[in-house]
Amino acid sequence: MSRLTKVEVEHIAQLARLHLTDEEKERYREQLSDILAHVAKLQELDTADVVPMSAVVAERSPLRPDEPGETLSKVALLENAPQAEDAQFRVPVVLDHSEETDEQPD
């Protein structure tokens, strides 16, 4: 398999919304190329006689009993928050509704 080009790495970075320096692009070009070469080598293996697996761990995972315990107070919880306002967690805006119109959907 051929090595990835800088243009291909830039395209991947754009899809992932990553802003990379030229040094990072070169490092990731090498690393991604090595990963893809390893995957290509794995695809050469004959797996016809290998039984498919649904999980790599035992069928049952040990679980601890679900027992209620002491809860933290609101003050204690907010002490762990990066930002708090009016006794609530303050989080970054996820959806910006400022561009919405008054039109109702059909």
**28 assigned to some structural domain:** yes
46-75: average pLDDT: 84
39 vs 32: CA distance, rounded Å: 11
**77 assigned to some structural domain:** no
Q: Which structural domain range is residue 12 located in?
A: 6-43
Q: Is the separation of the CB atoms in 1 and 37 below 8 Å?
A: yes
**82 assigned to some structural domain:** no
4 vs 34: CA distance, rounded Å: 9
Q: What is the domain-level CATH number for residue 38?
A: 1.10.20
Number of domains forming the structure of the chain:
1
Q: In percent, how much of the chain has pLDDT > 70?
A: 89
24-53: average pLDDT: 93
Q: In percent, how much of the chain has pLDDT > 90?
A: 54
